[in-house]
Amino acid sequence: MGSALSPYLQQHADNPVAWQEWNAATLEFAREHDRPLFVSVGYSTCHWCHVMAADTFSSTSVANYLNENFVPIKVDREERPDIDRYMMEFLVALSGQGGWPLNVFLSPDLKPIFALTYASVEPRYGMPGFVEILKKVHAHYQENRAVLQEFQLQGADFRAPSQTEVSHLVARIHDAYDTDYGGFGSGQKFPPHGRHGARRAPRPPRRRFLPLLHRHSMDNSPL
């Protein structure tokens, strides 16, 4: 997290939780080791995100269980609004309400398992402690992994692009660059600036107030 571009992700660099960024390598690691994902979405000015970071994610017991049984991923919603939208829609469908921090458990093939917002280390607000929640989610996944269903959301595709797709996109951008005149594409980049090319703004109508004022003054008539 210390090398992440997002200031929000950098703020979690000192957590004992082994946070990873959302990318192709992380998702591949989860599939290879058959570990469910724990994805925590937040943003820099989120109060309860900072509370959970200082409380729950700083707990050694939480970190140990997360690191051993899940692949913990931190996401900045301002950096990845597509992931945030998908996770939030699932949370709202599951519980009827949403919020941040947005914590979602996913199978290695990205099927959602469970979601919640803030949770403390210790039992609080009628909820069990976070380690107990982790254990229950992990047991549920082990027992029901074969019947997990995808959560469909129109327009959602937050899978990490493959290296082939990235290379293809870079090549297309490179080919579209205009090396002679700058910019992209071969079309005209700027509006014409010659004397005949530019259109003059219409002249405002001539005001008749001052001549009328002068005539009234000469006639000694009241204005």
Q: Which residue has the higher pLDDT, 194 or 76?
A: 76
Three-state SS annotation for the chain: CCCCCCHHHHCCCCCCCCCECCCHHHHHHHHHCCCCEEEEEECCCCHHHHHHHHCCCCCHHHHHHHHHHCEEEEEECCCCHHHHHHHHHHHHHHHCCCCCCEEEEECCCCCEEEEECCCCCCCECCECCHHHHHHHHHHHHHHHHHHCCCCCCCCCCCCCCCHHHHHHHHHHHHHHECCCCCCECCCCCCCCCCCCCCCCCCCCCCCCHHHHHHHHHHCCCCC
| Cα dihedral: 94, 99, 102, 108 (round 10) | 30
pLDDT level of residue 209 (50, 70, 90 thresholds): very low
pLDDT for res 201: 58
118: containing domain = 7-162
Q: Is 36 among the domain residues? A: yes
Q: Is 178 among the domain residues? A: no
Give me the CATH number covering residue 16: 3.40.30.10
Whole-angstrom distance, CA of residue 221 vs CA of residue 223:
6
Give the model confidence (pLDDT) of 137-169 as tens digits: 999 999 999 988 877 655 545 555 667 767 777
For the chain, the domain total comes to: 1
Q: Which residue has the higher pLDDT, 90 or 173?
A: 90
Residue 181 pLDDT > 60, yes or no? yes
Q: Is 132 among the domain residues? A: yes
pLDDT for res 149: 82
Question: What would the mean pLDDT of 8-12 be, rounded to a whole number?
Answer: 93
pLDDT level of residue 214 (50, 70, 90 thresholds): very low
By percentage, how much of the chain surpasses pLDDT 90? 60
Whole-angstrom distance, CA of residue 172 vs CA of residue 156:
23
pLDDT level of residue 222 (50, 70, 90 thresholds): very low
CB 74 within 8 A of CB 40: yes
Whole-angstrom distance, CA of residue 2 vs CA of residue 220:
83
Residue 8 pLDDT > 70, yes or no? yes
Q: Is 80 among the domain residues? A: yes
pLDDT for res 213: 46
Question: What would the mean pLDDT of 14-21 be, rounded to a whole number?
Answer: 95
Q: Is 167 among the domain residues? A: no
Q: Is 218 among the domain residues? A: no
pLDDT level of residue 97 (50, 70, 90 thresholds): very high
* pTM of the shown model: 0.70
Q: Which residue has the higher pLDDT, 185 or 140?
A: 140
Q: Is 48 among the domain residues? A: yes
Give the model confidence (pLDDT) of 36-69 as tens digits: 999 999 999 999 999 999 999 999 999 999 999 9
- Average pLDDT of the chain is 83
Q: Is 182 among the domain residues? A: no
